[in-house]
Amino acid sequence: MNKNIKTICVFASASNNINEIYFKAAHELGVLIAQNRYDVIYGGSNLGLMGEVTSSARLRGSEIIGVMPEKLYNLGINPGECSKFILTKGMRERKAKMDELSQALIALAGGFGTLEELSEMIVQKQLGYNNKPIVLLNTNGFYNNLVNFFDDIIQQKFAPEICKDMYFVANTPEEALDYINSYDFSNNNYLDAKIGSKINH
């Protein structure tokens, strides 16, 4: 367990119509989160990988805090069994609350919502608004194309080389937790590096 981290935010699909391999990884991740004595912040739905990771963590002792916008709640989406459930006005407020409550994040396989949440957190880290460990859980190579795109952004100098260190690609839940457990909060300042690279050129 990392002494600087109490809660891990998970971004994940809320779809039940996906390959079982993703559910297996989500279950394993939830077990490991609980075993390492972390609590979970998530988007509030009991569906899909969201439901799987939080259920397996809750059953092993983690507190589960769900954050859902009012519109989704009013549509009848079930928040599942949360230790605490928070309603927000909209999606932006939801992301802000999840960010506020967590000290680390893991993006499991997901759709456009997961991608949007992940992208915002990477940008916030690049600009110095957070210094959290950001992990892409690359189950079944799900994030391969996205990571290649990130590499292309850096190679074409739309972002500095140091930005490769802003996120970690884990192929297994064990790798994800190992990275978070050993994460050093003291040596990451990507905005300074970006500004410095402009001055140096």
pLDDT in tens, 49-62: 999 999 999 999 99
pTM given for the model: 0.91
Instruction: State which amino acid sits at residue 170.
Output: A
Q: Is the pLDDT of residue 48 over 70?
A: yes
Query: For 119-166, how does the pLDDT look when each residue is reduced to its tens digit (9 = 90+)?
Result: 999 999 999 999 999 999 999 999 999 999 999 999 999 999 989 999
**For 175-192, what is the mean pLDDT?**
84
| Position 21 confidence tier, pLDDT thresholds 50, 70, 90 | very high
| Position 193 confidence tier, pLDDT thresholds 50, 70, 90 | low
Query: For 62-118, how does the pLDDT look when each residue is reduced to its tens digit (9 = 90+)?
Result: 999 999 999 988 988 877 789 999 999 999 999 999 999 999 999 999 999 999 999
CATH of 7-144+166-187, one of 3.40.50.450, 2.40.10.10, 1.10.3720.10, 3.40.50.720: 3.40.50.450
Q: What is the CA radius of gyration of the chain?
A: 17
pLDDT for 200: 36
Q: Tokens 């809660």 label which residue?
A: 7
pLDDT for 196: 44
Q: Where are the alpha helices (DSSP H) in the chain?
A: 20-35, 48-58, 70-74, 91-101, 112-126, 144-155, 173-181, 190-200
CA separation for the pair 64, 195 (Å, rounded):
39
CA separation for the pair 168, 95 (Å, rounded):
21
